[in-house]
Chain A
Amino acid sequence: MTDSPLTAPVVVALGPLPITLPVVVTWGLMAAMTLGAALATRRLRVERPGRVQTVLELVVETLRREIGETMQADATPFLPLLGTLFLYLAVANLSGLLPGLKAPTAFLETAAALALVVLLSAQALGIAKRGLWGYLKGFAHPTPLLLPLNLLSELTRAFSLSIRLFGNVMSGEFVIGIVLALAGLFVPVPLMALELLLGLVQAYIFTILATVFIGGAVGTIEKG
């Protein structure tokens, strides 16, 4: 009997703790991103920045501007969370195109974990910004009758985030795998190019929706 392709394969089990493939790949991506960031930011200069520094500044400044425009507030306090979310999603989504690797986001656990982090971060930041009572009152807005629906919508938004990401990435990899199995070596290349685009688009969508959720929680924008 074959395991479900939707199930994360266990690479190694540390007692009762199973270390699955997406966790291992994520560790690799984390190591690569951290090492790359440390190396790239080792010699930053104010005058005459190099190409790598210019790209880094462009990425960071673009992320900050997009987040700020979406939240309609200063994005600097939220940049580490939301910027890392976009960068990790982009790298993780594109990592599936590498031979022998499977994108961590193609597993529901990873998408659910990110959605859970966004959900909890939104609650924590909302409470920190508006106070517990002020934040809770927001769920009874505009009328207390909508309190159950508002609470439910918080959960469904996180659920939809994770399902959207998981479905898109997983389906893209499945299609490429099936085409690769049925056709030749270079036939899936256009699909891989499309998957490249889809991976970036999904990372952008996930990040923007997370930004909207957090912006609604801290009160800078209306809740969607």
Chain B
Amino acid sequence: MHIDGWTLLLQAINFLILVWLLRRFLYRPVLAVIAERQAATDRVRSEAEAARQAADSLRQGLEAERTGLPAERDRLIAAARSAAEAERAALLDKARAEADRALDNARAKLAEERAQALADLQRHAAALGAELAARLLRGAPVAALTRPFLDEACAAVEALPEAQRRALVDGVDPVPVCLVAATPLTPEDAGHGRDRLAATLGRTVVLTVAEDPGLIAGVELHFPHSVVRRTWKQALAEAAEELTRDEPARADAATTAPARTDRAALA
């Protein structure tokens, strides 16, 4: 048996060339296509896996959200209840405050009306009392009271401070003074009054005499700019005024009555 060395060598070379040729024209392109398809498959698979994971996460989120729905509902209901309760309490407080305010207003108005009615009653009673007293006193024998009232009026002028006495005479001399009495004056009473005023004022007094039954009793000394009154008419008017004053004002008036009387007399 003979082995041809050239054939052996050529066949070995032929095979190696065939290996290169098939590597170039068969394996490389086919393997490249397979690898490319595998890569595409892997890519699609990874995308599908990513999509599946996204779907899973979304599903888990939805489940968690669905699980939390009752708690959220309870929380919202509780919040709504507490808000409604707070609003109801606020409305009640507001209504209560408005009712209290209306009640206070009504009470104040009632008190004011009552005070007004009481004041009206007092004024009416005072006027009625003064009217009654004036009617009763008009028929009384008041002539004998003229002299004491005259003395009292002169004493009031004497009790005035020096500055006020100067203001009475107003710098004139002789001083014109009108003596008004409720009853006709006797010449003695008129002379007595003139002398006493002249002594008090330190000037000559020209006295004129007048009569006014409306005074009920007493006298009025009319100076050039002032009048000194000592009459029952004035006393009744002051009494009526005092009765119609408020209680505190009336008490205050009681403590300062003499001085006010003098000022009123001088007005």
Contacts and interface: CB of A to CB of B under 8 A. Distances in A.
A174 interface: no
A109 B19 contact: no
B30 A56 contact: yes
A124 to B, nearest CB: 12
A20 B30 contact: no
B76 interface: no
Given A6-B1, A60-B27, A87 B7 contact: no
Nearest to A91: B18
Contact of B37 (A4, A46, A104): A46
Contacts of B1: 4, 6, 108
Contacts of B2: 4, 7
Nearest to A26: B14
Nearest to B29: A41
A171 interface: no
B211 interface: no
A196 B26 CA distance: 24
Interface in A28-64: 30, 33-34, 37-38, 40-41, 44-46, 49, 53, 56-57, 60-61, 64
A22 B14 CA distance: 11
Interface in B16-55: 16-23, 25-27, 29-34, 36-37, 40
Contact of B33 (A6, A22, A45, A109): A45
A40 B33 CA distance: 13
Given A34-B21, A80-B19, A109-B3, A26 B11 contact: yes
A144 interface: no
B121 to A, nearest CB: 117
Given A41-B29, A80-B27, A84-B15, A33 B22 contact: yes
Overall SS of chain A's interface:
helix
A30 B14 contact: yes
B74 interface: no
Interface string A74-85: 001001110111
A23 to B, nearest CB: 5
B30 A27 contact: no
A33 B8 contact: no
A113 B22 contact: no
B4 interface: yes
Contacts of A38: 25
A117 interface: yes
Nearest to A81: B19
B33 A57 contact: yes
B30 A23 contact: no
Contacts of B17: 30
A204 interface: no
A8 interface: yes
Contact of A46 (B11, B22, B33): B33
A107 B23 CA distance: 26
B31 A109 contact: no
A83 B27 contact: yes
Contacts of A88: 15, 18
Interface in A115-146: 116-117
A113 B9 contact: yes
Contact of A8 (B4, B19, B25, B32): B4
Interface of A: 4, 6-8, 17-20, 22-23, 26-27, 30, 33-34, 37-38, 40-41, 44-46, 49, 53, 56-57, 60-61, 64, 76, 79-81, 83-85, 87-88, 104, 107-110, 112-114, 116-117
Given A20-B10, A60-B34, 10 more contacts: A22-B7, A23-B7, A26-B14, A33-B21, A41-B30, A88-B18, A109-B3, A109-B11, A110-B7, A117-B16
